[in-house]
Amino acid sequence: MFWFDKRDDRALFLDKRREVCTDPQGREIVIDPDVLGDFTDLPFDDESFSLVVFDPPHTFNGKNSAMAQKYGRLEPGWREGIAAGFAECFRVLRAGGTLIFKWNEHRVPVKTVLAMTPEKPLFGHLSGRAAKTHWLVFMKPGGDQ
């Protein structure tokens, strides 16, 4: 998780899982979202948020791998899922709001993922040891831009 304070009232953590598991190195992984839900069908009204962070799974690793246990994994139909996730993020985002999208292109290039939304990022940043993690910033049209 990249949140400085997971319990900050300004943030909601949504995941479709609530579980405690142990990774292959014996470390406990706790998935305890504020809201149980799927990013392809967000349980929020239209234009509910001024800021949304979309950090979907980005690996095909086995279901018991440390990465899959901690972050989830891409399932069959993942392309449609990511496209639906982008659409849902923009649906719940207020006009003029900001979407921050995080993607690691270890398996799938970011340009492939960006083709799944008609929206275009304003800017981004590469990070990580191999510079494969993209942080992209989008702004929903409308509002006082």
- Specify the pTM: 0.86
Residue 66 CA to residue 99 CA, distance in Å, equals: 27
Buried b (16+ CB within 10 A) or exposed e, 26-50: eeeeebeeeeebebbebeeeebebe
Identify the pLDDT of residue 44: 97
**pLDDT tens digits, residue range 24-51?**
788 888 888 889 999 999 999 999 999 9
Identify the pLDDT of residue 73: 67
Identify the pLDDT of residue 72: 66
Domain boundaries, the chain: 14-24+42-139
Residue 114 has pLDDT above 80, yes or no: yes
* 8 Å CB contact between 10 and 52: no
